[in-house]
Amino acid sequence: PLIKVSWHQKGDYFATLVSGSTNVLIHRMSKKSSQQIFRQQKIPIRSVLFHPTRPIMFICTGSHVYLYDLQRQCLVKKLFNGGQSMSCIAAHAGGDNVIVGGSDGKLAWFDMDLSNMPYKVMSSHSSAIRGVAFHKKYPLFASVSDDATVHVFYGKVHLDLNQNALIVPLKIL
C-alpha cells in the first residue's frame, strides 16, 4: 500500500512511497513512465517532497533529511535534526527553508543557507506531529499532531540574506 504521494509544482511528475519501503518511485504522467531513483536504502524513508523551484527532492528519514539532485543523480546536502525522530516535511515557496515535524512533538525550522542543523526547534505539541504545511500565499505555516491540535505560526522569510526568519506562534486550534 502507498503511504505518501507528492506532486511536483508543474503537475507532470509525482513521487510515491510504499509502506515499509526504502525506495522512491518518480512517475511522469505525459510519458506514462516510472523510475526508481535509488536501488535500495537501508534506512526506511518517511516522506518525500519535490523542491519548489529546483530539480531537487527532499527525502526524509527518521534522523536526516537528504537533498537529492534529480538531474545529476547525486546527494547534494544532508540535514541533521540532532537525534530527534522526523516524521513529515514541508518546503517554503522559496525553497531555502524547510520545516520538519518529529514524532516527539518537536517542530524544526531549517534555513539551508545558514547550516545543516535546525535554525529553530519548537516544542509545540505534546504528541507526535503527523503533518506540516506552508500557506501558498501568506507567511503562515501549521503543524498537526496526535494530541488533536493544530498549531498555526507566522513565519516570515526575508529576502535579505543577512536577516534570519521571523517565527511567531499565532493560534492553537
Q: What is the mean pLDDT of the chain?
A: 88
Q: If pLDDT is split at 50, 70 and 90, which confidence band does 143 have?
A: very high
What's the pLDDT score for residue 82? 72
Look-up: residue for cell 505560526? 153
Quote the percentage of the chain above a pLDDT of 70: 98
State how far the Cα of 167 lies from the Cα of 154, in Å rounded to an integer: 6
Q: Residue 153: which pLDDT band, with cuts at 50, 70 and 90? A: very high
pTM of the model: 0.87
pLDDT at residue 151 above 90?
yes
What is the reported pLDDT for 150?
A: 96
pLDDT band at 100 (very low <50, low <70, confident <90, very high): very high
Answer with the residue of higher pLDDT: 79 or 163: 79
Res 39 pLDDT > 70: no
What number is the average pLDDT over the span 134-148? Answer: 94
Residue, of 96 and 23, whose pLDDT is higher: 96
Report the pLDDT averaged over residues 4-11. Answer: 87
86 vs 150, higher pLDDT: 150
DSSP 41-101: -SSPEEEEEE-SSSSEEEEEESSEEEEEETTTTEEEEEEE-TTPPEEEEEE-TTSSEEEEE
* Amino acid 61: pLDDT: 86
Q: So what's the pLDDT on residue 9? A: 86
Distance CA 111, CA 103 (A): 21
Mean pLDDT across 153-163: 84
